[in-house]
């Protein structure tokens, strides 16, 4: 599942390509979006802003119309020059937004809805997001308070709750817990103030490192592998995620994994470093 850093980079790239441009073509295979386009054409509108909020993306058009998307497990946005060959087959296309210079294509996006500002404010799941880890206005105190307000949840499960902290997914939940030396199956109620602070601050630090901007004003899609260790080698980029049975990078104890929480997401941890 794309996590907050992936959506942030995609939104940044789309914003650079599309903001201030006029829509020359809008195409979709989703009936609900097509009905809106038929009644209130997207073609001719100006794209005002593309932004991310946790794992959600919004594309704001002139006239007060907002396209809200969520990638869930397999969705993605691509950006192409006119006539450039798509990297995925047309059968995976869900939405196309074209301007004179670029073509934004949403592939296998499972959640796509048009909203006004009023309806977006009522949209369940979006209107209850906690502080966005990658927001410039990130509210660390609120994030800590939100985490502490989940005493009966296991730590890793609490980190996945988007109303606690928006943007973290399964990779970061395991990596953040490891970096803080906290067993992911501990209850939030057992955390010290220092541990709670570490979880929130480390989540922001690790995710921010993976959205570093070196492309200036150019339209460049980030293609590097996600890293939390700071190491350049592709095989050494993560501490524990996806490494069940392999030696811990710190103590050589075999990394363990098991399903956790209401969605049975797999959690990875070192039993020695995270007692």
Cβ–Cβ contacts within 10 Å for residue 256, how many?
16
Residue whose entry in the numeric block shows the structure tokens 């943007």 = 167
Task: Output 10-13 pairs: Cβ under 8 A, ≥24 positions apart.
Answer: 10/52, 10/57, 10/76, 10/77, 10/221, 11/50, 11/51, 11/52, 11/57, 12/50, 12/52, 12/211, 12/213, 13/79, 13/219, 13/220, 13/221, 13/222
The closest of 36, 109, 100, 39 to 78, measured between CA atoms, is 109
Say how far apart CA 179 and CA 174 lie, in whole Å: 9
User: What DSSP assignment string belongs to 128-165?
Assistant: T---BTT-TT--HHHHHHHHHT-TTSBHHHHHH-TTTS
Tell me the catalytic residues.
2-3, 55, 265
């Amino acid at each position: 599942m794309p996590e907050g850093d992936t959506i942030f980079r995609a939104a940044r790239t789309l914003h650079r390509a599309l903001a201030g441009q006029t829509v020359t073509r809008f195409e979709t295979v989703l009936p609900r979006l097509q009905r809106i386009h038929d009644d209130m054409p997207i073609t001719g509108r100006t794209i005002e802003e593309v932004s991310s909020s946790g794992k959600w993306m919004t594309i704001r058009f002139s006239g007060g119309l907002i396209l809200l998307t969520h990638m869930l497990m397999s969705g993605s946005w691509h950006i192409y020059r006119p006539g450039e060959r798509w990297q995925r087959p047309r059968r995976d296309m869900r939405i196309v937004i074209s301007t004179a210079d670029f073509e934004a294509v949403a592939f296998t996006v499972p959640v796509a809805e048009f909203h006004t500002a009023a309806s977006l404010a009522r949209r369940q799941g979006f209107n209850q997001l906690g502080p966005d880890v990658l927001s410039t206005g990130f509210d660390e105190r609120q994030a800590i308070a939100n985490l502490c307000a989940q005493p009966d949840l296991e730590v890793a499960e609490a980190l996945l709750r988007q109303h606690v902290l928006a943007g973290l997914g399964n990779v970061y939940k395991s990596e953040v817990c490891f970096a803080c030396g906290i067993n992911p199956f501990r209850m939030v109620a057992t955390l010290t103030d220092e541990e709670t602070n570490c979880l929130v601050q480390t989540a922001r630090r690790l995710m921010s490192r993976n959205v570093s901007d070196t492309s200036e004003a150019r339209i460049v899609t980030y293609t590097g592998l996600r890293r939390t260790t700071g190491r350049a080698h592709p095989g050494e980029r993560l501490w524990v995620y996806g490494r069940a049975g392999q030696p811990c990078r710190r103590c050589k104890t075999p990394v363990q994994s098991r399903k956790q929480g209401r969605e049975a997401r797999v959690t990875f941890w070192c039993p020695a470093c995270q007692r």
